[in-house]
Amino acid sequence: MDDMKFLLHAVEVSKRSVREGNHPFGSVLVDSEGNVLLEQTNIEVTDSDCTGHAETTLMRQASKKYDKDFLATCTLYTTAEPCSMCAGAMYWANVRRLVYGITEKQLLAETGDDPRNPTLSLDCRTVFGAGQKDIEVVGPVPEVADAVLEPHKNYWNQQS
């Protein structure tokens, strides 16, 4: 599977998220054959929904459309390491592979104390490790860090 290709696809989704008035995050769900099944922007602002993170919203859609056995064969690509809520949504949806671009700590370095993104310092590997499922985690991927961070530049601590 071409992880770089799908991570860069998620970056494009994150840019669309900003154009649509939301936070700069994007996720893509890909099957084992390399077909993009779903993509999702962050919808927290436009939907006035604090749970409108790209990954959680995508997992809601995926779990309605596909069964858990199929989702176990899929990969979630996301621009930033999933927060604990999003990691939990992925766990419950039964997606067994995750690839992300930057860590939660790298994101915090960019967002700082912006109240729109109060980072919870709990990495996704810790969340998954507390469960009973084996979930493969690939990330961070340094080769895409600049591309992932680009939509975040001049976004945080600039608007409210």
pLDDT digits (tens, 9 = 90+) for 5-62: 999 999 999 999 999 999 999 999 999 999 999 999 999 999 999 999 999 999 999 9
Residue carrying the six token digits 């690509």: 77
**Residues identified as active-site:** 55
Structural domains present in the chain: 3-158 (3.40.140.10)
Average pLDDT across the chain, whole number: 94
The predicted model gives 114-132 an average pLDDT of: 90
Q: pLDDT: is 119 or 13 the higher one? A: 13
66: its two tokens: 């596909």
pLDDT digits (tens, 9 = 90+) for 59-87: 999 999 999 999 999 999 999 999 999 99
